[in-house]
Amino acid sequence: MARAGLTTEHVVRAAAEPADTVGFDHVTLSAPACGFGVRDAGLHSHVKNLGDLRTRLALPAGEECADRVGAAVAGRAGKGEPDLADAVRLLPSTFHGFGSLEALGGFDAPAMWRRPGNRRSRPAHHPAAPAHEGPDALGTHGRQER
């Protein structure tokens, strides 16, 4: 039975603070449980398990990121042609930058979402990456020769 006043939203909010301060990988069920004065098992009526809690934390973060990118692009609507071109370039540049940093471990994101054997889940410099991939695949550090 759920504790009076304790909701799924309260549990997720309580877990969000450690996620922001010590990192997503360090989110546990015991931290919010301790904060509410219940055992870990007492949270299972609100979240299934740690994976469910982390998913509930990640979804709003993804939505917030999408909202910020959308606002940045929408803020350029109605501007002159050069500004419109900048808005069009912003979105792919954002995703490319994120992908490049993530591939190099810049965000230290957990590998739990990566599928074993998925070539895209490994950085190009990873020992298991195919030889034809990577920045030197063309011998030009990613640039095409003319």
- Give the Cα separation of 50 and 124 in Å (integer): 31
Q: What is the pLDDT of residue 142?
A: 47
Q: Of the candidates 14, 45, 51, 53, which has an alpha carbon nearest to the alpha carbon of residue 31?
A: 14
Higher pLDDT, 129 or 29: 29
Q: What is the pLDDT of residue 49?
A: 92
DSSP codes, 51-105: HHHHHHHHHHHHHHHHHHHHHHHHTTTT--HHHHHHHHHHHHHHHHHHHHHHHTT
Q: How many CB atoms lie within 10 A of CB 137?
A: 13
Q: Which domains does the chain have, with CATH numbers?
A: 1-59 (1.10.10.60)
- Give the Cα separation of 28 and 120 in Å (integer): 28
pLDDT at 73 over 80: no
